[in-house]
Structure 1
Amino acid sequence: MKSPKAIIHLLSSSLISFLFYVLAITCLTSTTVSVSYGGNETDYLALLSFKSKVTQDPYKVLTSWNHSFHFCDWSGISCGKRHKRVTVLRLDSNGLEGSLSPHVGNLSFLRGLSLANNSFQGTIPHELGRLSRLRYLYLDDNKFCGVIPTNLSRCSNLEDLWLPRNNLDGIIPKEMSVLSKLSRLVIDNNKLTGGIPPFLGNITSMEIFSAVGNPLGGSIPDTLGLWQSLREFYSGSCNLYGSIPHSIFNLSLLVNFSLSNNHLTGSLPSEIGIQLPNLELLQLRTNKLTGVLPPSITNCSKLWYLEMSYNNFSGKLTIDFSKLRDIDTIRLQSNNFHGRGEADDMRFVDSLKNCTRLVHLELSNCNLIGVLPTSIGNLSDQLSFLALGDNQLFGSLPLSISSLVGLTTLDLIGNLFKGKIPSTIGKLKKLQYLSLSRNQFSGPIPDAIGNLSLLTLLYLHSNKLEGLIPSSLGNCEKLNGLDLSYNRLGGKIPKQLLQLPSLTYFLDLSNNTMSGSIPSEIKDLKMLSGLDLSYNELSGTITSSLGECIRLTKLYLSGNMFEGTIPSSFSSLGGLEVLDISKNNFSGKIPQFLGKWKSLEYLNLSFNDFEGEVPVAGVFANASLFSVWGNDRLCGGLVTLELPKCKETGSKKKRFPFFILVIVIAPTLLIVLCCVYLLCKKKRNSQPSESSGSERFMKVSYNQLLKATDGFSTENLIGEGGHSSVYKGILDSNDDKSVAVKVLHLQSRGAHKSFIAECEAWRNIRHRNLLKIITSCSSTDFQGNDFKALVYEFMPNGSVHDWLHSSENTSKLNLLQRINILRDVANALDYLHNHCQTTIVHGDLKPSNILLDDDMVAHVGDFGLARLLGTDLNQNSSTGFKGTIGYAPPEYGIGSEMTSCGDVYSFGILLLEVMTGKKPTDGMFIEGLSLHKFASMALPDQVIDVIDNDAIVLQSTEANAKKVEECLAATIKIGVSCSVDPPPQRMKIEIVVNELQRILDVLQNI
């Protein structure tokens, strides 16, 4: 046992150790706090306030913002060496969500603030006006709303102000005119109005101005001519009108000048090339400009991009391109460049021989008259795209065209070319798209065309071609579509052509003089979507092998000499939408399986020798969907067919006395009718509001919807748009299933029109890939105000936009899911465009309007901008922007009417967004780069570099990985083909459906 002295000594030692420990902790804590504050509590507290307003930090970039580090060492922070004050706050592309704290205005030494490509929302704090030292402010690609703060005018040292791709509205504030050092103002893709204000001309330091995609309106002010330092000017799709002020053409330092998709009128000054010698990009497409395209453009020796398409330029094209040695793209289509009284409009081609970097030349629909000179062969071997379609070019196609070995697209459709197609065309080994249709070519199709092994689409229809179809076409192993219709081709269908598994889009040999029967090799075209052999001299029975083409949606065999019965193997063609076998010699009974095909929209059996009873099921239940005229031995069917009744078979049945039936049934029937009448009258009197839908929809009142959504509570709010708010709810009459209630903001301009458009669109459409409408309500609320709402089936998996861009979705869409969704959307569009009684244009296709159910099946919704073609309903005005910026096609920007081609463009952009994960309004798409071009440049070998990483599934074998890459390339190619600028060149939606299905089949078998 220890002595008392030893115990006291031990306690003393422990106490001293404890005091030293406490002292050390105190010093460490004091040091930590001192390090955190760094002698400047204002900056420290401002940064903590910034962090407190951030609600989502997926990459944990703000985890270093704690007491363990001096704030100058925090992520994204830079400080001055002398005072240790924050000079730069940069947190670009970190997925941050939340609002921007007004306390950032207390960072009084701040010179740079960059929060681009995040998801900050709310208004831009006016307290930023306190930052008198601020030189650059980058808030692009966020969700800021409200107006541009007037207090920013107090940032007297501001040089760069970038606010593009937000939701800002209002006008450009007048106070900004005092920002004397501002040199770069970028406000693209917001909702700004009020025009380009004249006072901006006072900012004489301006070097870059970009306002693309704002509904500004108004004219271009003459005062902008004071921007003597201006190098780049972009104001496309701004609803501008009037002429371009002459003062603009005095800005000699201007390099990039773009005013596309507006309503500008007037002509260009003849000396534009002398006044603007430094131009590299000149883009004035889709306006209403007139006059001659000034020859002085040749003086712009640095020009690489010239786009003046879709205007009203006239007169002869006399630009001397020989001095434009850097020119890459010339797009002048859809103008009127014919010289009066002359027929040599193509002489300008001679001057293109020095343009060794030329890649894209497009002069379609320009009313050019003349011969295509042999000097066409002197063009750049880099030339990839050549389009001279829909002009009046005549004479022979020069042999020298074979020198353009870089061509991937050659489009000469709709001219007056005659003579033979030169066999030298087989030297264009890179050619993927070839159209010589609607000309006067004669003679045989050259065998050399089989050398075009990369060819995917070949159009030779509407010529005078004769002879046999060359078997060498079987060498075109990538051929997706072939159209040889309306020629004079004869002989048998070559078997080699039918053994191309790549032939999936269409094969059209109609209106020729083909003979013989359909070869059994037709079975190899299992993925073919459309087959047209009509109006030839084909004969014999239909081979049962045709039943193996299970992907067929359209089959035309009319106007031949086929005989025999419809083969039973046809029963496997359950996906057919159109079947036309009229004007042949078919016989026998109409097969019952034709009435069981759910997809069949039109059936033509007329002018054959069918006999027996006409079915009444399926397509036969609607007389407008089928035809059986000219078959004299048919009977029965619908009464409207007025065919004779079919004779009864077997023993004659004993008839029950008719008068007894009358005595028994009549009183009963009278009683039933009275009950039904009274019931309907009672129900009609008790109904408080009237549904705007047809009688097949249930009726709901305002009170029921109020109850279903718990008083339209914010807890049930699941979405909000310009014209409406959407709430989740449960209707008592809907088996307690969740519904989505879309309540229209009737005080919003256009909301009533949007409601009518949706009601008309939903009235008679049903499809598994369209959002299911349950009912609509047009009534008044308890205050007597008009109330309109639509009730839809609730989609538990949200929208495609949420899956692509919301940080709340931790799981991402895999490749198969993405292709399935795209196939579903394409199916819906195909139905709306091609299979409704009246063609319906959706008008606003985008990821937020594509909703996903429990099984991740896609449903297209929001028909607020829909248009029913061929009716007086929902006609859109020619003024105003239709759709959503980024997804709406270019032609809508100049007031063109909505068309199905516009929907296809939107689908193309949607596809590219789904596959790349990038919005069309992404901040990277500047200076002429777009989502379409971004994807197009990756084809065919670099596609993997642009695909969203979450979509790529690594495969275990090299062969499987290659198949995946091929599928990715094929998918991107569809998106690019759908989103090309000239509407007629966009891929048909029915072709899109079949191609996506083919891609899905390949992926599912990996």
Structure 2
Amino acid sequence: MPGSVVAILQVVLFEIPKNLSQCRNLHYLNLIDNELTGIIPSELSSLIKLDALGLSDNNLSGNTIPPFFGNFTLLIVLSLSNCGLHGYIPESLVHLRNLKQLILDTNQLTGEIPFGIYNISTLETFAVFTNQLQGNIPFDIGSTLPKLRNLGLGDNNFSGVLPVSLSNASSLRFVGLFANSFTGPMPKNLDRLLDLRFLSIWSTNIEDDISFISSLTNCTRLTVVDIFDNMLTGSLPVTIANLTTQLRKLTIGINRIHGTIPSGIGNLIGLNTLSLQLNLLSGPIPSTIGKLFKMQEINLSANMFTNELPSSLGNLTLLNILYATRNNFSGSIPQSLANFSRLLVLDLSVNNFSGVIPREIMSISSLSIYLDLSYNALFGSVPSEIVWNFSKHYKRMHKLAASSLRRKFATGEIPQGLSVLRGLQDLDLSRNNFSGLIPSFLDELHLLNLNLSFNRLQGPVPLEGVFRNTSAVSLQGNNELCGGILELKLPYCPSITKKNSSYILLKVLIPSAVLFIAILVLSCILIRKKTKSRNNHYASSFESQFKRLSYADLLRATNGFSEANVIGSGRFSTVYKGVLEDGPPDTVVAVKVLNLNIRGAHKSFMSECNALRGARHRNLLKILSISLSIDFRGNDFTALIYQFKANGSLENWLHQNENIDRYLTLMQRLNIAIDVACAVEYLHSGTGSDIIVHGDLKPSNILLDDDMTAHVGDFGLAKVMSNISSGFAAGESSSIAVRGTIGYIAPEKALILISSLLSKLFNGHPINNGQTCEDTNLAMSTNQPAAHVNASTMSRAKKASRHGER
């Protein structure tokens, strides 16, 4: 081969052959997309006449970019995309003064780009996106790279201000700066980029007024503008109507843009994607939107739009996706939407739509992925067309993620036609007026979640399928249901032989006559509390109504995590009062936001989740939802969402401000003590094979609801053990390391009885005044379950209770 010019074109190899070094006159070497592995042999350093070298789309992991590549001074093209490279970009590449294309994207490169690369004036394509590079972009990049056409810096860790000199590279076509940590405003002179076609700056932390978009009106070849998920403010300028008709995609969602949509948006007749979600936009949707005949996807979610949806939307016959959830739309759903002959997704939930469900909408034959009309004021029976439509097209319905009909006040029986939807995963029929039996086909579907709560269903609950998982099925608010698995705690059906549940409970929990009396007293009190809780049955089903919430959801709920909404704080977290928009009116919650910068915060979060994931008790604070999300700055965000308890913590009642005139009666103190004792007893012996040690039981972690019922919360220091014997050997007392809050940590091996809990409350002192236990070391120290309450103590409590009633 010496003395010849050879081009090697995409041959199938396993490793890069070392004997290629003999091809010293080789000008073109293309080994792209050959599943190559192994090292980049140093022998290739002899190929100093190369004009083009391509190793992209291989598996060369473990390799760095060899410094000897800098000796290929005749190179015009260097393509090393997606081949598993790591490490720094070698400084030697600055010697490639003839380079036109430098393609290093989709690797694991780190560090900063050598400054000299920005001075290779011949560069036309510079692509390093999807790496782990950092540093600032030189302020004069547009002057030092005047021939630049394609600039791909996205998905890295670049920072600093976007250089104004970009407009000097007047040949720029592609600008991809997305997913970085840039700061400051956008350059205002982009109108000089007359050949610009693609502008992507999403998730870059840019802070600016959206008015800079007016500078793009001269870019007559522009097809894509992606500027969502930044910190853009202001209102949409009317000059948006002057953008080129070549524009196909405009995404400005997840910002802070307010005002209305200019009617001139109807001029952008080339648009096929419009994304405006999660802003502060208001007013009606202009009817001119019906001029966008090429539109395929519209997202208007989570704004403050009002009025009716314009009937002109029906002109968009190519539309595949329409999201309009969480706004203030009203009136009836336009029948013209039936013209959406290609619609796959329709979400109009959480608005103020009224009237009957249009049969025309249910007749859209293409509607096969997602339908949600929930949380509106719609009424009437479910149209037969929805069953016919779903049945006729069931072969496509295997992709159906959720068919939500909840809160539409539908009547009659659950439609049998749904039985053909064998791919259905989530079905929400809650808050309607469905009646009759639960159809047997529901336990045959492969459902992951089923919500039938708050209807008028009756009769036996199936025992198979989704009904075997209590966390996947919600049946609250159907008072005539019976049977089902034991965990559902429904009454026995008349046809089922009924065992005496009280006898079983006594047989398991009462080893002596003394304990029988104590448990009987507790049972009477709990029955009274159960009767009282029936009037608040919605709270018991609250948990099933919410799924994971995003950072944006909680930001809105807490008024931007305002200090005015703070209701508590600790070492690892801050708790805010919030009102959820995606729920019934006045849905008040407590949002516990973890400070992940504090060491131990993540461990505290995991402890709380592990402790409560299988715990179900009326005196435990319930987790309604969690949020594992990303905030607007790209940082990890973790929060727990709990039921809000209106009367705050026991700490505030025992040590209240002198200016607040409120106190706990003797009966209230007794009830609180019994509530806490019941919670602790359940944690230590009522969760099946697990034993939960709270680790930080104190007045500030005991919350009181409207009825002054106590709920134990804050399980950040909790410990879960498989059984009591695994944590403590017979005859030993607790040797757990010190956990909890100073002032509430028990001396090792101390014997603390529930009488201490009661007496402290009656005297108006904290539950544990400097000497309580890691919950109930009373149980741990004596090697007895926490339910073994001293009989004389309970007797005195009962007498005090009767005296207080008189």
Which residue in the other structure is 2:207 paired with? 290
Shift >4 Å, 4+ stretches: 519-525, 546-553, 578-582, 585-591, 634-640, 642-647, 866-869, 889-894
Residue correspondence of structure 1 range 319-468 to structure 2 within 5 A: 319-339=239-259, 345-347=260-262, 349-356=263-270, 358-380=271-293, 382-455=294-367, 456-468=369-381
Over residues 757-811 of structure 1, what are the superposed CA-to-partner deviations in whole Å (9 max), with x where a residue is unaligned? xxxxxxxxxxxxxxxxxxxxxxxxxxxxxxxxxxxxxxxxxxxxxxxxxxxxxxx
Give unpaired runs (5+ residues) of structure 1. Answer: 1-39, 44-82, 340-344, 572-577, 592-609, 617-633, 648-865, 875-888, 901-1006
| Cα distance change, pair 438–227 in 1 and its aligned pair in 2 (3 A) | same
Which residue in the other structure is 1:607 paired with? none
Contact 2:204 2:230 in 1 (8 A): yes
User: 1:89 and 2:8 equivalent?
Assistant: yes
Q: Give the letter for the 2:30 counterpart.
A: S
Report deviation, 1:163: 1.1
User: Partners in 1 of 2:199 and 2:629 — Cα distance?
Assistant: 17
SS in 1 for 2:112: coil
Given candidates 116, 130, 154, the residue that maps to 2:32 is 116
User: Partners in 2 of 1:174 and 1:529 — Cα distance?
Assistant: 54
Report deviation, 1:645: 12
Report deviation, 1:170: 3.2
Report deviation, 1:254: 0.4
Which residue in the other structure is 1:299 paired with? 218
User: 1:486 and 2:402 equivalent?
Assistant: no
Which residue in the other structure is 1:870 paired with? 605
Q: Give the letter for the 1:279 counterpart.
A: L
Given candidates 134, 142, 158, the residue that maps to 2:50 is 134
SS in 1 for 2:353: strand
Contact 2:331 2:355 in 1 (8 A): yes
User: Partners in 2 of 1:197 and 1:352 — Cα distance?
Assistant: 46
Report deviation, 1:611: 5.9
| Cα distance change, pair 893–367 in 1 and its aligned pair in 2 (3 A) | closer
Contact 2:404 2:427 in 1 (8 A): yes
Over residues 898-946 of structure 1, what are the superposed CA-to-partner deviations in whole Å (9 max), with x where a residue is unaligned? 789xxxxxxxxxxxxxxxxxxxxxxxxxxxxxxxxxxxxxxxxxxxxxx
Contact 2:147 2:171 in 1 (8 A): yes
Q: Give the letter for the 1:464 counterpart.
A: A
Give the TM-score normalised by structure 1: 0.48
Q: Give the letter for the 1:261 counterpart.
A: A
Over residues 513-560 of structure 1, what are the superposed CA-to-partner deviations in whole Å (9 max), with x where a residue is unaligned? x15312647469634443322122334x2376x868789873322212
Which residue in the other structure is 1:517 paired with? 436
Q: Give the letter for the 1:107 counterpart.
A: C
Residue correspondence of structure 1 range 344-743 to structure 2 within 5 A: 345-347=260-262, 349-356=263-270, 358-380=271-293, 382-455=294-367, 456-477=369-390, 478=394, 480=400, 481-487=402-408, 489-502=409-422, 504-512=424-432, 514-518=433-437, 520=439, 522=441, 526-539=445-458, 541-542=459-460, 554-563=472-481, 565-566=482-483, 580=488, 612-613=500-501, 636-637=507-508
**Higher Cα radius of gyration:** 1
| Cα distance change, pair 114–432 in 1 and its aligned pair in 2 (3 A) | same
User: 1:143 and 2:32 equivalent?
Assistant: no
Q: Give the letter for the 1:556 counterpart.
A: S
Which residue in the other structure is 1:831 paired with? none
Which residue in the other structure is 2:663 paired with? none
Over residues 152-203 of structure 1, what are the superposed CA-to-partner deviations in whole Å (9 max), with x where a residue is unaligned? 2322211000112233333222232222210000111223222122211221
User: Partners in 1 of 2:313 and 2:111 — Cα distance?
Assistant: 51
Report deviation, 1:646: 12
Which residue in the other structure is 1:897 paired with? 636
Which residue in the other structure is 1:232 paired with? 150
SS in 1 for 2:477: coil
User: Partners in 1 of 2:322 and 2:174 — Cα distance?
Assistant: 29
Report deviation, 1:590: 8.6
User: Partners in 1 of 2:281 and 2:510 — Cα distance?
Assistant: 56
SS in 2 for 1:176: helix
User: Partners in 2 of 1:147 and 1:490 — Cα distance?
Assistant: 63
SS in 1 for 2:278: coil
Q: Give the letter for the 2:500 counterpart.
A: G
User: Partners in 2 of 1:431 and 1:440 — Cα distance?
Assistant: 22
Q: Give the letter for the 1:280 counterpart.
A: R
Given candidates 114, 137, 146, the residue that maps to 1:197 is 114
User: Partners in 1 of 2:608 and 2:414 — Cα distance?
Assistant: 49
Q: Give the letter for the 1:562 counterpart.
A: E
| Cα distance change, pair 646–351 in 1 and its aligned pair in 2 (3 A) | closer
Contact 1:555 1:580 in 2 (8 A): no
Contact 1:331 1:361 in 2 (8 A): yes
SS in 2 for 1:485: coil
User: Partners in 2 of 1:611 and 1:895 — Cα distance?
Assistant: 56
Report deviation, 1:361: 1.3
Report deviation, 1:614: 7.3
Given candidates 144, 154, 157, the residue that maps to 2:74 is 157
Report deviation, 1:401: 1.2
Over residues 839-884 of structure 1, what are the superposed CA-to-partner deviations in whole Å (9 max), with x where a residue is unaligned? xxxxxxxxxxxxxxxxxxxxxxxxxxx977824899xxxxxxxxxx
Contact 1:212 1:237 in 2 (8 A): yes
| Cα distance change, pair 250–615 in 1 and its aligned pair in 2 (3 A) | farther
| Cα distance change, pair 203–890 in 1 and its aligned pair in 2 (3 A) | farther
Given candidates 214, 217, 228, the residue that maps to 1:309 is 228
User: Partners in 2 of 1:116 and 1:507 — Cα distance?
Assistant: 47
Contact 1:495 1:521 in 2 (8 A): no
Report deviation, 1:325: 1.8
Report deviation, 1:636: 4.6
Report deviation, 1:329: 1.6
| Cα distance change, pair 105–503 in 1 and its aligned pair in 2 (3 A) | closer
User: Partners in 1 of 2:134 and 2:629 — Cα distance?
Assistant: 17
User: Partners in 2 of 1:450 and 1:645 — Cα distance?
Assistant: 59
| Cα distance change, pair 165–393 in 1 and its aligned pair in 2 (3 A) | same
Over residues 113-169 of structure 1, what are the superposed CA-to-partner deviations in whole Å (9 max), with x where a residue is unaligned? 111223444443444343332100001123334432333232221100011223333
User: Partners in 2 of 1:86 and 1:614 — Cα distance?
Assistant: 93
Contact 1:219 1:242 in 2 (8 A): yes
| Cα distance change, pair 212–638 in 1 and its aligned pair in 2 (3 A) | farther
Contact 1:300 1:324 in 2 (8 A): yes
User: Partners in 1 of 2:443 and 2:494 — Cα distance?
Assistant: 28
User: Partners in 1 of 2:510 and 2:146 — Cα distance?
Assistant: 80
Report deviation, 1:476: 2.6
Q: Over the residues paired in the alignment, what is the CA RMSD in angstroms?
A: 3.5
Contact 2:308 2:331 in 1 (8 A): yes
Given candidates 248, 259, 262, the residue that maps to 2:166 is 248
Contact 2:419 2:445 in 1 (8 A): no
Which residue in the other structure is 1:738 paired with? none
User: Partners in 2 of 1:500 and 1:88 — Cα distance?
Assistant: 58
Contact 2:15 2:37 in 1 (8 A): yes
Report deviation, 1:258: 0.2
Given candidates 16, 20, 24, the residue that maps to 1:104 is 20
Which residue in the other structure is 1:756 paired with? none
